[in-house]
Amino acid sequence: MLIALLPGDGIGPEVITQAKRVLDAVGLDGLIYEEAPVGGAAYKASGHPLPSETLDLAKRADAILFGAVGDPDCDALERHLRPEQAILGLRKELELFANLRPATLFPELAGASALRPEIATQIDLMIVRELNGDVYFGEKGMRKTADGKREGYDIMSYNEDEVRRIAHVGFKTAMARDQRLCSVDKANVLETSQLWRDVVIEVASEYPDIQLSHMYVDNCAMQLVRNPGQFDVIVTGNLFGDILSDQASMCAGSIGMLPSASLDSGGKGLYEPIHGSAPDIAGQGKANPLATILSAAMMLRYSLSMAEAADQIEAAVASALAAGARSADLGGTMSTSDMGDAVIAALASAG
Ligand code: NAD
Ligand code: IPM
Ligand code: MN
């Protein structure tokens, strides 16, 4: 099994280093790693955020473990050269259309959540975010209006096939969980969302056991902090899923805790924390690597059929937290590598 390691920018390399240490500590046979530059690092080295060698490696690999991209030095570049285009390009080129973002609170972190502990402890949900369409990939540009003013535009659209395939992922995810699916849209205003809702309702007829509900995204943002325990699986579009998952992360303790899997229709996946390159703390050893370590566990489970090893890593993260491991975002003082050490120690003591 070939794993592509794409560390990227900012805290990306710091958190990937810890995830790789944890994978090594689990002692898995038959895994080969190849690393390649991506994002701002790749742009600075070779003039492109997603060099063809990196894309080739991602295509050849059985799974991809990704850190983060984004570099303030690159924010003024033409859009197609910006670091973020690398992750968007990988998602699109590899048809990684289904983004699973689980938000679960480790009970020890109830005090780190932005919510009151008795509300925070209820959170156990999965956001299924569509990743290949929406306003992210529509036509965009800058133009002048008739009276000479600057105008930016980004076309939002979904076709029914795109909605149908992510709806199936949402329903199947709910089947494997608590059988409840909430589809989040803005159908009161957007035609894109009206189609989304219509197609989700059509697909629902194939899943009679699933309790389907619909919610507008603004209400969902409110309900996530009012009572996150009401949600089992949320299925939503690319932009709404991006925003709601960052919000859900703070309900679950920290953005440094949430992993993700971006899957194609065949089981290949890219695994990354939901957070970015965090330039404000990069290079300081302050980043929480647990989201990336938990992403590595998702990789073992979803792409490499190594569910037992995934369980071991997740259990080690829980034990490390129970033993008091806390990085700054969780209210502690431990460094990125201290957090890696804590997980590795927990793995060792579990035998
Ligand atoms: P961010 O997620 O990088 O950071 C937001 C805040 O959360 C910052 O204060 C940061 O210090 C903190 N944070 C993030 N991850 C953390 C961790 N593991 N441990 C502790 N604290 C953590 O979002 P941003 O600041 O809006 O974006 C920074 C750059 O990252 C931008 O260039 C953006 O485009 C990029 N970005 C990339 C990805 C990705 O690669 N998939 C995701 C989100 C943002
Ligand atoms: C994420 C990020 C990306 C997104 C950016 C960096 C393109 O915010 O992975 O959540 O918007 O999808
Ligand atoms: Mn995001």
Q: Which of 197, 223, 252 is the last residue of a domain?
A: 252
Of 284, 201, 322, which Cα lies nearest the Cα of 10? 284
How much is the average pLDDT of 1-25?
Answer: 98
Same domain, 209 and 98: no
Q: Give yes or no for residue 84 CB within 6 A of ligand 2.
A: yes
ipTM: 0.99
Spatial neighbors of 121 by CB under 8 A, at least 6 apart, are 105, 107, 110
Q: Let me know if residue 275 belongs to a domain.
A: yes
Q: Whose CA is nearest to atom 4 of ligand 2?
A: 242
Question: Three-state DSSP class for 255?
Answer: helix
Pick from 284, 262, 290, 214: nearest CA to 93: 262
Catalytic residue check, 186: yes
One domain, residues 206 and 149: yes
Answer yes or no: is pLDDT of 230 > 90.
yes
Nearest C-alpha neighbor of 319 from the set 284, 344, 285, 287:
344
The reply to whether 79 sits in an annotated binding site is no
237, 252, 267: which is the final residue of a domain?
Answer: 252
| Residue from 255, 262, 274, 294 whose mutation best tests the ligand 1 pocket (most atoms within 8 A of CB) | 255
Cα gap 318→316, rounded to integer Å? 5
Distance 83 CA to ligand 1 centre (A): 13
Which residue's CA is minimally distant from atom 5 of ligand 2? Answer: 84
In this structure, are 156 and 178 located in the same domain? yes
**Bridging pattern class, strands 261-263 and 269-271:** antiparallel
| Residues facing 8 on adjacent strands | 68
Atom of ligand 2 nearest to the CA of 260: 9
Residue 232 lies in a domain: yes
Per-residue pLDDT tens over the stretch 88-115: 999 999 999 999 999 999 999 999 999 9
Residue 107 resides in a domain: no
Same domain, 176 and 238: yes
274 lines ligand 2 (CB under 6 A): yes
Answer whether residue 194 shows pLDDT above 90: yes
CB of residue 185 inside a 6 A radius of ligand 2: no
Q: How far is the CA of 339 from the centre of ligand 2 (A)?
A: 25
How many domains are contained in the chain?
2
Task: Tell me, using a 6 A CB cutoff, whether residue 88 lines ligand 2.
Answer: yes
Give the residue, by CA position, lying nearest to ligand 1 atom 32. 70
Nearest to 66 by CA among 2, 15, 6: 6
Residues 39 and 151 placed together within one structural domain of the fold: no
Ligand 1 atom with least separation from CA of 292: 18
276 is in an annotated binding site: yes
Looking at the fold, whether 67 and 190 belong to one and the same domain comes out as no
User: Residue 67 is part of a domain; what is its CATH number?
Assistant: 3.40.718.10
Q: Of 252, 285, 312, which residue is a domain's last?
A: 252
Same domain, 349 and 283: yes
Residue 42 lies in a domain: yes
Q: Is residue 322 part of a domain?
A: yes
CA of 72 to the centre of ligand 3 (A): 16
Which residue has a Cα nearest atom 31 of ligand 1? 70
Task: Tell me, yes or no, if 71 is annotated catalytic.
Answer: no
Q: Is residue 36 part of a domain?
A: yes
pTM equals 0.98
Banded pLDDT at 351 (limits 50, 70, 90): confident
Tell whether 317 and 241 lie within a shared domain: no
Q: Which of 71, 134, 242, 329 is catalytic?
A: 242
At 262-319, the pLDDT tens digits run 999 998 999 999 999 999 999 999 999 999 999 999 999 999 999 999 999 999 999 9
Residues 200 and 169 in one domain: yes
Q: Which of 9, 20, 136, 232 is catalytic?
A: 136
If asked whether residues 236 and 289 sit together in one domain, one would say no
| Model pLDDT for residues 27-58, shown as the tens digit of each residue | 999 999 999 999 999 999 999 999 999 999 99
Q: Is 218 designated active site?
A: yes
Ligand 3 mean position to 123 CA, how many Å? 20
Same domain, 160 and 275: no
| 59 shares its domain with 137 | no
Q: Is residue 108 part of a domain?
A: no
Strand blocks (E) in the chain: 2-8, 32-35, 63-68, 98-104, 124-130, 140-144, 150-154, 180-185, 211-216, 233-236, 261-263, 269-271
Domain containing 205 equals: 113-252
In a domain, 155, yes or no: yes
User: How far is 344 from 348, CA to CA, in rounded Å?
Assistant: 6
